[in-house]
Amino acid sequence: MATHQRLSRADFHRSDNVSEQVQVCVRLRPAVGTGQDQEASCVRRVDSHSLEILNWKNEMESVKYKFDAFYGETATQWDVYTGSVKPVLHHLLKGQNASILAYGPTGAGKTHTMLGNPDQPGVIPRAVRDVLQMTREASEDKCRYSVSMSYLEIYQEKVLDLLTPSLRDLPIREDRNHNILVPDLTQKEITSVADFESHFLPASRKRTVASTQLNQRSSRSHSVLLVLVNRIRDLPTYSHQTAKLCLIDLAGSEDNRRTGNQGLRLKESGAINSSLFVLSKVVDALNQGLPRVPYRDSKLTRLLQDSLGGSAHSLIIANIAPEKKYYFDTLTSLNFAAKSKQIVNKPFTQKVLPQTGSWKPAKPEETESPHNHSEAEKSLSDGKRPCPDFSDGSPEAKRPCLQEGNSQDHPKRSRSGESSSICCLLPLENLNPILAERMLRLEALEKEKALSCTIPLLDTPRKERLNILKLLYETRCELKSVQEKQLKIEAQTLENKGTPFPQASKPRKQATVLPLQQVHIPVNNQQEEENVIKKQKNKGRKKKILDLDSENKAPSKCEEEINQDLAKTKLLSLLNSGSMKDLMGLHYIGKKKAELIVNWRENYGSFQKVQDLGKIYGISAKQVDAFIMANVCKFQKPL
């Protein structure tokens, strides 16, 4: 029988676990001016991969740089896109992340490269159009794609949502799979280029820009467009795969002596230069292999953690200006591009297989046989659906099976509704035929195993069974202590007399010791009678002390475990059936986590155990442990 494996959100599929370097291309914008003195060109093209720049120490010499691609002054938007950007996009269909980053000084043409104009569209509109086209062509009957977008800017170290403008500084988080995300960022689903433009164009107008002495529309913030490509596969097993495309337009570094920045413009340029300095530190740390990479020193580098040294296919487009007055800015940009080319990323495919039912891995002995197959087909043709046993106290165990006559078919199962069938909860008419056939085979094996079991199931609810086990444990402990006391008294009697007990003419009947009863031992000699009298005199004095000791007596280990199990059962029932208000009444559960729990119940059904909260996207394992410890104490009854 085919194995149904239960996987959580932490399961990865690394199909292309190959390291690759960050790709870097350089684009030289056309020169502006007369071409004399400060406006003369200091950069010259060598070939399609190389360029050279004058040596500032000796103008008779030049410094040569080699990159993955070099686009000169005559290169068009189409050349840059088809030569460097488009080859990166096909990784999105494999579930791998991609990142396109425009870097350079102010006035070098970064925004033109990324956005362009209606006559010459830039990287962003062309990439979104091709991503939508690829997902339409790749969609099949068994596999479907969806594309969504988010747009933000980093202005003065604040992450601001451009699709839903507000002054709120959004947090940047890292989930347990080391993916960088912005939890409260607005997400819009797009199905066509018109949908994209209806969201992107109004949002791009809200980006912070200002006029300086070097640029009429200088970007005062770093903008990041996130395009999420989701792939959902129905057969043979349900799987969800997400890939992220980051399109980043960085603000340019500025020399305030040339830009003439004052007041607010000066504060903005300080924040821009500071974040770009941290970006340079991150690149140096990655190249040197330092144990600590300062991603958290800036919001920009924290957001680019996937792109630099992470799991994305990254491309950096370094924009430079040819004029001599921008010489040091150009030299700095080329040095940054050369260092970035040495960074190594490790892209991989991440597949998420959420748990949609209570499937269990098949055991080695549970193999497919003609008998099992015929039994499953017979049950399907008769319209009877066998009900598997849920004896672990799960919420499904409390649902009555909707099938008539199942108590007759399974005489050893409970008649109180503790056993319920997955087929009863999930109608076979709504499932795929292959999945339905596998379900019937699994239930046929469970039915055969239950019929062969010689120990009947208790026909009592879980709470009553726990009470019975508790009482049984206490009775055995009391009986053992009474027997030990009796043995001590007999040994003491033998010591005092020095002779064994006299043999009675008639066989002595052995007294039956019942639990929770006082055991009366006959007193045969005078010394023992005096001891009993003394004990009775001290009994009144010690009564209060004994009562206090019994009240303060710590509960036994079994009592604590049973009490914790009862508390977890109540907590699990509240998680599966509680309203938003009830969930928010628990410790460590706010409005956001309550909504996540309700959405999970609607999509995947009830929780099997409290630890299943860790499968919800956004709730870590440490948070689940803290939640259980706090709320179990809340639901525990004092023993």
Which residues are annotated binding-site positions? 104-111
- Cβ proximity of 247 and 127 under 8 Å: yes
d(CA 93, CA 349): 10
Residue 73, C-beta contacts closer than 8 angstroms, at least 6 positions apart: 28, 29, 30, 31, 322
Please state the length of the chain.
639
d(CA 190, CA 199): 9
Long-range contacts of 28-35 (CB under 8 A, 24+ apart): 28/70, 28/71, 28/72, 28/73, 28/75, 28/320, 28/321, 28/322, 29/73, 29/108, 29/109, 29/112, 29/319, 29/320, 29/321, 29/322, 30/73, 30/322, 31/73, 31/322, 31/323, 32/323, 33/323
Annotated binding site for ATP: 104-111
HEC letters along 550-564 = HHHCCCCHHHHHHHH
Cβ atoms within 10 A of the Cβ of 627, count? 22
Alpha carbons within 13 angstroms on the beta-carbon side of residue 77 total: 19
- Cβ proximity of 446 and 389 under 8 Å: yes
Alpha carbons within 13 angstroms on the beta-carbon side of residue 544 total: 1
- The residue written with tokens 């988010």 in the block is 150
User: Whole-angstrom distance between the N-terminal and C-terminal Cα of the chain?
Assistant: 48
Cα torsion through 274, 280, 282, 283, rounded to 10:
170
d(CA 328, CA 66): 18
- Cβ proximity of 159 and 147 under 8 Å: no
The pair phi, psi for residue 190, each rounded to 5°, is -125, 140
HEC letters along 10-38 = CCCCCCCCCCEECEEEEEECCCCCCCCHH
d(CA 351, CA 233): 10
